[in-house]
Amino acid sequence: MKSYEVLIVGGGHGGAQTAIALRQAQIKGSIAIVSLETDPPYERPPLSKDYLKGEKGFERLLIRPIRFWGDRDISLLLGQRVVAVDPNTKTVTTEQGERINYGVLVWAAGGVPRSLTCEGSDLLGIHSLRNRADIDQLVSELPKVKRVVVIGGGYIGLEAASALTSLGKEVVVVEASDRVLARVAGEPLSRFYESRHRSHGVDIRLSNAVASIQGQDGRVSGVRLADGEFLTAQLIVVGIGIEPAVGPLLAAGALGENGVKVDSFCRTTLPEVFAIGDCALHINDFSGGEEIRLESVQNAVDMANVVAKTIAGKPEGYKVVPWFWSNQFGLKLQTVGLSRGYDSIVVRRNRSVDSLSMIYLKNGVVIALDCVNSVKDYVQGRGLVVARCERSVEVLADVSKSLKEIGLNEAND
């Protein structure tokens, strides 16, 4: 039986960074990453952006050059799914029936895209965007596609809409809520993005659910909406969120539900088993005591660093402020903090129509910012979130002052 001192399940952002950080911390023991995908660790964000548009080749997505892993004596066990964990014998079992022993297990398995469940969901031409194979398959079908329906107006759906529009496709976005980005952003940002997409020709249908997918000869021909309208489409992109990939851990007795519960050191309730990244349910320092999962590169990488430090005997709890980005139609969105639970929003607009910053407050405290093409506000506003500064709406809205000045002024009062 193979045996590793540290066995990492999942070769995405979190898994790769765990191995990298362990070697940086001079951990000499054996390390393996077992991953379902057949590619070495690569960056996922470009999948719905430059990679989909064909502007970035796959080699440029690699988190490290291929030789890095061998040079650092990190074994990549690719194309293998872990289906069971036995915390008593400290082994995992793969789908192929192989058992692998571990000293410490780091679960970094991310999530699985939610699928449609309506009639016609099994037709050809319906795509999720989670891994390289998803995009490659979608791109191979594009030459025969004139019109695409994107189901879901979250970040991934909107990024796909932007990329596919730039590739010359007609795109319709169908969103069940009354605004795009409803789960993650305040209304002014939703309206800003809605208007930007519409101005590029994207047809956005809000407050409308999908009733069924229609097909011809086994392939998608369009989408029937709940209000009866039929939207012709040769391809469908589904961006309706993910389910955390934690089945084997929960079956082994780890606590959790929508994810696996971890403490501030990313320890699950199973001995010597950590969980990180998209699948880790944790109380974030910036979530106001709420248990959450974060789906971002920052969270996966920072949790990986926390685990590596703990394994290296220098534990430091997870305290980093969350941040995220998204690129659509030349708009670079950068967010910092967590806006959930906000009770007021300040919109700062300068003269450029392409730029806007939104500041979220809760009980007068700055809890988050969404900055579009506004790196300065993002960088300076970050300090306000980290320091949990109290600022009035009027002060924050004053664009004649930078956020740095606003922070300093009131701190000196």
Residue 130 engages ligand FAD in binding (rule: CB under 6 A): yes
Residue 108 engages ligand FAD in binding (rule: CB under 6 A): yes
Residue 75 engages ligand FAD in binding (rule: CB under 6 A): no
User: Hey, what are 2's tokens?
Assistant: 């193979």
Residue 328 engages ligand FAD in binding (rule: CB under 6 A): no
Q: Provide, rounded to whole angstroms, the least separation between the CB of residue 242 and ligand FAD.
A: 8
Residue 82 engages ligand FAD in binding (rule: CB under 6 A): yes
What distances in angstroms separate CA 221 from CA 90, 209, 229, 262, one per listed residue?
Answer: 49, 17, 14, 44
Nearer to ligand FAD among residue 265 and residue 325 (C-beta)? 325
Residue 326 engages ligand FAD in binding (rule: CB under 6 A): yes
Buried b (16+ CB within 10 A) or exposed e, 383-397: bbbbeebebeeeebe
Nearer to ligand FAD among residue 94 and residue 380 (C-beta)? 94
Footprint of ligand FAD on residues 184-243 (CB under 6 A)?
Answer: none
Q: How many helices (H) and strands (E) would you count in the chain?
A: 11, 26
- CA–CA separation, 151 vs 130, rounded Å? 15
Residue 157 engages ligand FAD in binding (rule: CB under 6 A): no
Amino acid identity, position 243: E
Nearer to ligand FAD among residue 37 and residue 175 (C-beta)? 37
Nearer to ligand FAD among residue 38 and residue 352 (C-beta)? 38
Pairing assessment for the beta strands 99-107 and 91-94 based on DSSP bridges: antiparallel
Choosing from 7, 21, 158, 245, the residue that interacts with ligand FAD (CB under 6 A) is 245
- CA–CA separation, 379 vs 225, rounded Å? 42
Residue 47 engages ligand FAD in binding (rule: CB under 6 A): yes
Nearer to ligand FAD among residue 249 and residue 361 (C-beta)? 249
Using an 8 Å Cβ cutoff, are 411 and 404 in contact?
A: no
- CA–CA separation, 307 vs 320, rounded Å? 14
Q: Provide, rounded to whole angstroms, the least separation between the CB of residue 202 and ligand FAD.
A: 18
Beta strands in 226-297 (DSSP E): 230-232, 235-238, 242-244, 256-257, 259-261, 273-275, 280-283, 291-292
- CA–CA separation, 60 vs 2, rounded Å? 32
Choosing from 87, 110, 154, 381, the residue that interacts with ligand FAD (CB under 6 A) is 110
Q: Provide, rounded to whole angstroms, the least separation between the CB of residue 109 and ligand FAD.
A: 4
Q: Provide, rounded to whole angstroms, the least separation between the CB of residue 20 and ligand FAD.
A: 12
Q: Provide, rounded to whole angstroms, the least separation between the CB of residue 299 and ligand FAD.
A: 7
State the number of CA atoms in the 13 A half-sphere of 343 facing the CB.
5
Q: Provide, rounded to whole angstroms, the least separation between the CB of residue 237 and ligand FAD.
A: 10
Q: Which residues bind ligand FAD (CB under 6 A)?
A: 9-15, 34-37, 44-45, 47-48, 81-82, 108-110, 129-130, 156, 245, 277-278, 295-298, 300, 324-326
